[in-house]
Structure 1
């Protein structure tokens, strides 16, 4: 019995060490990736062709990140310039530019929709949190259909963020609001 217990403790210690090592490697890899991302220099908005080259030089697994990061540069002027350049090109270069247009325009639409979808719950959360009578506001929001999964996810995210930051009182408050709202939304 004593031997089994000691073996169990050693196995738990080894598992914990392996888990800590994996977390450390993951953190180092994330820091390395972020340093590489920070080292890339975006072109300015005045040169759409430089932005096209920038995307061509971007690794495929970093394309979504760069599209989001360059979103302010992806204006109608950029897309019009890209379309015009597609008309001038031939062969492989034309295909590459067409693919870039398809990817960037499609993902920009997705990013814009997602941003809009995330802003609405934020506004509703602020409305709820600033209300003097939280219970009455929750009932009002139920009637108007303003309580939904996106708002619940935002409340839970804020609770978790507060807890991770050591803000126990704020996290408990968010949990209380979340629990009150969850009675009306199936999560």
Structure 2
């Protein structure tokens, strides 16, 4: 059976910015499928309002659609490749950074981190984001808030630290919850996979409200891993388990 792995976070493409250099976020959309021909034939004949016009018919229309789909497939592959390259570049850049040993240095480290890397950095440095760290941050925030002669630089610093405090507090809470959910999902999934009476096991888990989407997500990751490693029997077995779980979740 394929090795158990943890679901990875979805990649999000955003404009580069850090907590220190505040810029507006901008989602970059990809128009690889925005120019597909909209017609009732393309949508399988489902156009009850008749707003897409008459269906396209004939040999030329089919050839045009085929060429369009081929172009879109190439565009999608190009986009996926660019995403992979960008993720690899970000990974190398993160690994090249030196994590400071002091709390003061760690604060500056997070302020200089790109926003899209914050989630990864929180997971990597979670042990350092402890009571001592947040106490130190609160002390500096208090000093800035109650400073008698506050300069523009101090105002900027206050805004940056307040934003960072919120991001890191919410991020650590979400990370801890995710870790708990993953551990529980792994334990419950192993219980299902190893059960000799899967139906009884699932019924018991339904009664205790232990079936969740986290289990399905974890199972999907393992199915994908088995397929990529050409473990067809393991993948088929887990696909069957997934279908069974889904039936009980919709009861």
TM bucket normalised to smaller: 0.7 to 0.9
Distance 1:78 1:48 in 2: 6
**Structure 1 segments of 4+ aligned residues over 4 angstroms from their partners:** 1-16
Seen in structure 2, the aligned counterparts of structure 1 residues 169 and 87 have a Cα distance that, compared at 3 Å, is same
Q: Structure 1 length normalisation: TM-score?
A: 0.82
Cα offset, 1:157, TM superposition: 2.7
Distance 1:126 1:146 in 2: 13
3-state DSSP of counterpart to 1:129: helix
Seen in structure 2, the aligned counterparts of structure 1 residues 10 and 105 have a Cα distance that, compared at 3 Å, is closer
2:105 matched to which residue of 1? 50
1:26 aligns with 2:109: no
The answer to which of 25-34 and 170-179 deviates more is 25-34
Unmatched 5+ stretches in structure 2 = 1-57, 148-153
Cα offset, 1:19, TM superposition: 3.7
Figure out how many residues of one structure are paired with residues of the other and give that number.
185
Distance 2:198 2:127 in 1: 37
3-state DSSP of counterpart to 1:122: helix
1:135 matched to which residue of 2? 199
The answer to which of 2-11 and 167-176 deviates more is 2-11
Deviations 1:76-107 (A, max 9, x none): 11111111222233432233223322221122
Seen in structure 2, the aligned counterparts of structure 1 residues 5 and 144 have a Cα distance that, compared at 3 Å, is closer
1:148 aligns with 2:203: no
The answer to which of 22-31 and 78-87 deviates more is 22-31
Distance 1:153 1:62 in 2: 23
Specify which of 41, 58, 62 is matched with residue 117 of structure 2.
Answer: 62
Distance 1:26 1:95 in 2: 32
- Say which structure is richer in helix: 1
Seen in structure 2, the aligned counterparts of structure 1 residues 104 and 5 have a Cα distance that, compared at 3 Å, is closer
Specify which of 107, 119, 122 is matched with residue 171 of structure 2.
Answer: 107
**Structure of greater relative contact order (alpha carbons < 8 Å, 6+ residues apart):** 2
CA RMSD of aligned residues (A): 2.6
Seen in structure 2, the aligned counterparts of structure 1 residues 186 and 5 have a Cα distance that, compared at 3 Å, is closer
Cα offset, 1:53, TM superposition: 0.9
The answer to which of 2-11 and 28-37 deviates more is 2-11
Q: Structure 2 length normalisation: TM-score?
A: 0.64
